[in-house]
């Protein structure tokens, strides 16, 4: 009897907790066919070792000129994942173009530069904890930690680095959350992308008129001094990427870490006894509940075989970070357990949640610093902090790209 191949997986555009689906897919293999919104055929690389290999392949391109369905005109205007493919910036560039664009912003995110930001980030964190406490008082003892703490911390930091005036910040988060959602209606997706570009063009215009010691001013100088280094479309595309990647992922990371610690008080106790530190919490959260579940896209420039599965040239491929983080083949039979004392893997690659290879997350040092400072000061200030509702009542984010919850109601004291 000929065995019937399993039907392609259809990621739910409205989102949900990815871990049960990931476990089922991993049981069938490290690479899975998927059907994206609009019936677009794709693949997802889910296993840790397979994803680590795939992310390093030079034949797995980021430039959407290799995206067959797009070049054939089969991707409609308003497709919810279109921005991931077409925004002009380092995440959609390969080779020399990628190195050029990455080089223009990399100095703002070096470990040394990030370390210099620590005192200011600590001060900002303490001010936001004051805001969180006020919100809890006004809310009868309950406050949304995501809204009042996990969101404004990375948003304030990335906007300060970019020189984004305060008047734009709330709108930028609203628009970026629409752009990364996978269930946005076509008309709303088009409108959100247009407005996001318009707002960031206004930000750039303000910095061009009043240059400062910020990344946007530096990018404008690079554009004006030598257009071959950075074009106008690449300038705006870079700002889009910086705003989205600079706050959405850290927002999810802090939210998910607080959820994990509230649900695993024994692990929190280990940190308080000094048997693990807050950096361990951050790394285990990145592995166990990755802030990005499936990241779009890479496109094979030729047919590639990954873990025995052929991925045809031109196929849009999702990087399955949340699945790889709980892959039993890489992390053992207890991969689904949150353990802040988990020993490092022999290859020292504990997780892939910040990417791997040439496109490894440029902002990784900053995200780690923000999350570590946030968690340490949060639980020092409010040692009895706990969820105000059961975990299963927390609504997941819309979409299968980001992985977190829409709100995190907490009680700061018992």
224 versus 205: the higher-pLDDT residue is 205
Judged by DSSP in three states, 405 sits in strand
pLDDT exceeds cutoff 60 at 97: yes
- Which of 373, 317, 296 is closest to 84 using CA atoms? 296
User: What pLDDT is recorded for position 414?
Assistant: 63
Rg for the chain, CA atoms, rounded: 21
| Mean pLDDT, range 48-61, rounded to an integer | 97
pLDDT exceeds cutoff 90 at 388: yes
| Mean pLDDT, range 190-218, rounded to an integer | 91
Strands 409-411 vs 386-387: parallel, antiparallel or unpaired: antiparallel
Q: Which of the four pLDDT bands, split at 50, 70 and 90, describes residue 6?
A: low
- Which of 92, 81, 240, 105 is closest to 176 using CA atoms? 240
pLDDT exceeds cutoff 80 at 254: yes
Give the position of tokens 């809890």: 136
Q: Which of the four pLDDT bands, split at 50, 70 and 90, describes residue 224?
A: confident
User: What pLDDT is recorded for position 110?
Assistant: 86
Q: Which of the four pLDDT bands, split at 50, 70 and 90, describes residue 3?
A: very low
User: What pLDDT is recorded for position 267?
Assistant: 98
User: What pLDDT is recorded for position 251?
Assistant: 97
pLDDT exceeds cutoff 60 at 1: no
Whole-number Å distance between alpha carbons of 357 and 174: 31
Write the DSSP symbol of residue 43.
E
pLDDT exceeds cutoff 50 at 177: yes
Q: What is the pLDDT of residues 352-385, one digit of tens each?
A: 999 999 999 999 999 999 999 999 999 999 999 9
Give the position of tokens 């039993």: 328
| Mean pLDDT, range 224-230, rounded to an integer | 72
222 versus 259: the higher-pLDDT residue is 259
Mean pLDDT score across all residues of the chain: 93
pTM value > 0.85: yes
């Amino acid at each position: 009897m000929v065995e019937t191949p399993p039907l392609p997986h259809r990621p739910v555009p409205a989102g949900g907790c990815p871990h049960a689906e990931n476990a089922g897919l991993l049981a069938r293999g490290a690479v899975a066919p998927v059907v994206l919104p609009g019936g677009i055929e794709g693949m997802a690389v889910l296993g840790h070792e397979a994803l680590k290999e795939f992310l390093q392949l030079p034949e797995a391109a980021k430039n959407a000129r290799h995206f067959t369905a797009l070049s054939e005109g089969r991707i409609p205007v308003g497709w919810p994942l279109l921005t991931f493919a077409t925004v002009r910036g380092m995440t959609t560039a390969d080779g020399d173009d990628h190195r050029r664009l990455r080089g223009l912003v990399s100095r703002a995110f070096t470990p040394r530069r990030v370390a210099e930001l620590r005192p200011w980030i600590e001060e900002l964190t303490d001010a936001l904890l004051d805001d969180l406490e006020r919100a809890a008082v006004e809310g009868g003892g309950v406050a949304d930690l995501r809204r009042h703490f996990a969101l404004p911390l990375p948003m304030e930091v990335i906007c300060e680095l970019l020189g984004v005036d305060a008047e734009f910040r709330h709108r930028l988060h609203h628009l970026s959350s629409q752009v990364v959602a996978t269930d946005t209606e076509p008309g709303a997706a088009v409108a959100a992308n247009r407005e996001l570009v318009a707002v960031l063009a206004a930000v750039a215009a303000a910095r061009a008129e009043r240059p400062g010691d910020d990344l946007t001013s530096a990018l404008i100088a690079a554009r004006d001094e030598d257009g071959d280094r950075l074009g106008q479309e690449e300038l705006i595309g870079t700002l889009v990427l910086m705003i989205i990647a600079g706050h959405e992922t850290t927002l999810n990371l802090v939210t998910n870490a607080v959820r994990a610690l509230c649900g695993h008080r024994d692990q929190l106790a280990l940190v308080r006894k000094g048997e693990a530190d807050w950096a361990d919490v951050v790394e285990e959260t990145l592995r166990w509940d990755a802030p990005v579940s499936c990241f779009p896209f890479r496109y094979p420039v030729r047919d590639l075989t990954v873990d025995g599965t052929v991925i045809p040239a031109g196929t849009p491929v999702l990087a399955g970070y949340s699945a790889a983080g709980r892959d039993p083949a890489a992390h053992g039979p207890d991969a689904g357990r949150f353990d802040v004392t988990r020993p490092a893997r022999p290859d020292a690659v504990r997780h892939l949640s910040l990417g791997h290879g040439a496109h490894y997350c440029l902002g990784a040092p900053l995200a780690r610093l923000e999350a570590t400072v946030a968690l340490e000061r949060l639980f020092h200030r409010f040692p009895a902090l706990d969820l105000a509702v059961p975990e299963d009542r927390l609504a997941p984010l819309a979409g299968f790209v980001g992985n977190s919850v829409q709100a995190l109601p907490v009680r700061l004291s018992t």
